[in-house]
Amino acid sequence: MEINLGKLPFDLDFHPSSPLVAAGLINGDLHLYRYAVDSQPQRLLEVHAHDESCRATRFVDSGRVILTASPDCSILATDVGTGKAIARWKEAHGDAINRLVNLTETTIASGDDEGYIKVWDTRQRACCNTFHAHEDYISDVTFVTDTMQLLGTSGDGTLSVCSLRKNKIQSRSEFSEDELLSLVIMKNGRKVICGTQTGTLLLYSWGHFKDCSDRFLGHPMSIDTLLKLDEDTLISGSEDGVIRLVGILPNRIIQPLAEHSEYPIERLAFSNDRKFLGSISHDQMLKLWDLQELFDNRQGMPENQMVEADNDEDEMDMDVKPEKSSKGTRRKKLDKGKSSKTSAADFFADL
């Protein structure tokens, strides 16, 4: 299934229990769609949530509310049923907000372009914790429920660990010489996997965050988004527009699953029943992929198309090639140029 959003999307999120998907767009709009197998998705809401771009969106309160965040430094709560604004935190951050992540039923985390991560109580509409964890934009955040810790990645090339219980930054990695763009925790909590600007996956061992324990090449361009499929396998979305199935320890590119477009993939997400994989890209399309069909197609591929990567760290370090533009730079340029007639194709031709 495909949905033409009409504008470049920055984020998407699936409803926690219903067949609904939301997308935040570069012009500040929030779109909400109902989808079903063998039928065209139906748009339920089109809300102008922000005067600047809508960089992040998340369902909260059991799916009754959608939160959106923007470079205007605000977070807006919108009623899913009516599309009406419930509340707006006008100065939620001191700089552009880049990321929203669900923590619990009543708490979320937000990250901004100056490296701040904040935790919010959605019932009290108040900030609970603030961490100046990084020196550059927050690219991704994930939450470890058992230990009440937040892990964050940033354009400053570091990984951070923040404790909600102690309200402090517990650990921060050394500079990795590469922007960290995406993050998942795998191997039953023993490994933290980070996608980078140069296309390398960095593997950190839990409790040993100062430096990565392994580097895995295989992606030709930046790894902008990661999803954990199971404890041994993840799905990656890359700047080359390809969605890949990746094995971790042993490290290998198992198979390209799909090609969204020739433009960077901004975000991937699973539907609540994990029947669909959602992807958005700079082609202005939201695509819903039937996961079973993707895996059935993979099983039908010849075995010689399974790609193994060399895990020798010295060799891999030599193979790393710098990219011409970072994800943070792309977003800022797109935000500044959103009112012009410049298309995604024109923008990438200029990089």
pLDDT in tens, the chain (351 residues): 999 999 999 999 999 999 999 999 999 999 999 999 889 999 999 999 999 999 999 999 999 999 999 999 999 999 999 999 999 999 999 999 999 999 998 999 999 999 999 999 998 889 999 999 999 999 999 999 999 999 999 999 999 999 999 999 999 999 999 999 999 999 999 999 999 999 999 999 999 999 999 999 999 999 999 999 999 999 999 999 999 999 999 999 999 999 999 999 999 999 999 999 999 999 999 999 999 998 887 654 444 334 444 443 333 333 333 344 566 666 666 776 654 434 444 433 444
| List of residues 6+ apart from 47 with CB closer than 8 A | 29, 30, 32, 78, 83
Please report the pLDDT score of residue 338 as a whole number: 59
Residue whose C-alpha is closest to residue 66's, from 8, 18, 3? 18
- Which two structure tokens, joined as six digits, stand for 170? 């517990």
Helix residue ranges, H only, 274-312: 291-299
Per-residue pLDDT at 202: 98
Answer for the pair 97, 75: CB distance below 8 angstroms, yes or no.
yes
Q: Are 32 and 43 contacting, i.e. CB atoms less than 8 angstroms apart? A: yes
Q: Which residues contact 316 (CB under 8 A, 6 or more apart)?
A: 200, 215, 216, 217, 310
Q: What's residue 332's pLDDT?
A: 65
Note whether 268 and 277 are within 8 A (CB).
Answer: yes
Dmax over CA atoms of the chain, in Å, equals 56
Looking at residue 160, what is its pLDDT? 98
pLDDT score of 324: 46
**Do residues 108 and 120 touch, judged by C-beta distance below 8 A?**
yes
Computed on alpha carbons and rounded to an integer, the radius of gyration of the chain in Å comes to: 19
Contact partners, residue 165, CB within 8 Å, separation at least 6: 148
DSSP track, 172-231: EPPP-SS-EEEEEEETTTTEEEEEETTSPEEEEETTB-SS-SEEE---SS-EEEEEE-SS
Strands across the sheet containing 149-154: 138-144, 149-154, 159-163, 168-172
Q: What is the pLDDT of residue 336?
A: 65
- Quickly count: other Cβ atoms within 10 Å of residue 291's Cβ: 18
Residue 295 confidence (pLDDT): 85
Residue 335: other Cβ atoms inside 10 A: 17
CA pair distance 331, 11, nearest whole angstrom: 12
The reported pTM is 0.87
